[in-house]
Amino acid sequence: MKIITLNANGLSDFQKFKRILTKLCPLSPDIILFQEIFDYTISPDKLKLKIQTWTSIWKGDIHVTPYVATLVSPHIQSNLAFESNDHRIMDISIFPPHSTQINIRNVYAPADNQVQRTFWNNFPDLPPIANIVGGDFNATLKEEDHQSSTLRRRVPLGPYILPHLENLIDTGGAVLKPAFTSYHQRGSNWSKSRIDYIFTSPTIFPSFNVSTHNMGTDSDHRAVLLSDSRRNSNKSNIWRFNATLLKSKKHTEAIEQIITMHPPIRETYQWDDIKDDIKTYCKKAGRTKKAKRVESIRNLTNRLNKLQRSNNPNTATIEAVTNRLKILEQANSEAMAIRARIKWREEGEQSTRYFMQQFHHF
């Protein structure tokens, strides 16, 4: 099983939701915990409408409050078990195939120092079953979990938090040098902290891997990924046609040539032969185009990550790289929004009018 937690810094923008899912889905998460998703004054009707748009691209269960959201993969049964009065804590019971019931708690603790201790003093007891607790605690556990270019320091809240989680493993803290999960910059001042966590019962993950993933300009928090190190990931063999290739004269001429070189279509199998040839060409062209776009975003994201991890971050360079990355991510988001999702005959697709319309200009 794989679990991700991420403070999304707002998900009211549906395009941003799609963009973040596109970044997270290659990690193959079974559960995604989001925090800080909406305006906290959002009405129930508007909240319901937002989630309806999410269901257009996430086919599993979606559980939400104005503060947090838990997304569950379609192959896992789930139901809401508990929601705190302040909507900052939500428990979901999941029933993974061939496994016992697990409680998933999503937490978005307040950032206000005046109410943090009260929040943790009144933290609800966990149910007496296997538990996973993840989220943005808005607090460090130890002094070394925070670094800053200023004299301001976070007061660790480990004594208030850890007693509630005493039978669980702090997965991010299990390594020799825990990674920070948030980076904030204001002017020339910066700070970085480990405030996002995934705690788990030892029986759920006898052995595990933990990693953090930079979200570029979409969030100043890292996505924290917890995965079972015994799991073998299998990549899907499904290939999907990218209709943006048809905007290129080079590619449209190549596809037109493929079609015209074939004899007139009289049997169904002849159309399938044409599709196979188009698929072969488009896979090669698509890989080249995608590789260039992804490489540019990856290089800038890695550079941004390296700059933020340095002992003395260069704030001017970070701002310049962030702006360049924002432009690339926006272009990538627009490409995703118009990309066709067409399955080929290997998945039982018929030669429908919808597919034919992709070539109406020939």
pLDDT digits (tens, 9 = 90+) for 210-236: 999 999 889 999 999 999 876 554 444
Q: What percent of the chain has pLDDT over 90?
A: 44
Q: Which has the minimum average pLDDT: 22-31, 55-64, 332-341?
A: 332-341
Q: What percent of the chain has pLDDT over 70?
A: 88
pLDDT digits (tens, 9 = 90+) for 95-124: 988 788 999 999 999 999 889 999 999 999
Tell how far CA 235 is from the center of its chain. 17
CATH number of the structural domain 2-228 = 3.60.10.10
Give the residue extent of every domain in the chain. 2-228, 243-359
Tokens of 177: 């040098």
Q: Mean pLDDT over residues 201-215, rounded?
A: 89
Question: Rounded to two decimals, what is the model's pTM?
Answer: 0.70
Residues 135, 106 contacting (CB under 8 angstroms): yes
What's the order of all strands across the beta sheet hosting 182-186?
Answer: 146-148, 189-193, 182-186
pLDDT digits (tens, 9 = 90+) for 289-331: 777 877 888 888 888 888 888 888 889 899 888 888 888 777 6
Q: Mean pLDDT over residues 186-201, rounded?
A: 93
pLDDT exceeds 50 at position 344: no
Of residues 47, 55, 46, 58, the one with CA closest to residue 21: 58
For the CA atoms of 292, 297, 303, 305, the dihedral, rounded to the nearest 10 degrees, stands at: -150
Start-to-end CA span in the chain (Å)? 47
pLDDT digits (tens, 9 = 90+) for 29-82: 999 999 999 877 888 899 999 899 999 889 899 999 999 999 999 999 999 999
Q: How far apart are CA 194 and CA 189, in angstroms?
A: 18
The total number of residues shown for the chain amounts to: 362
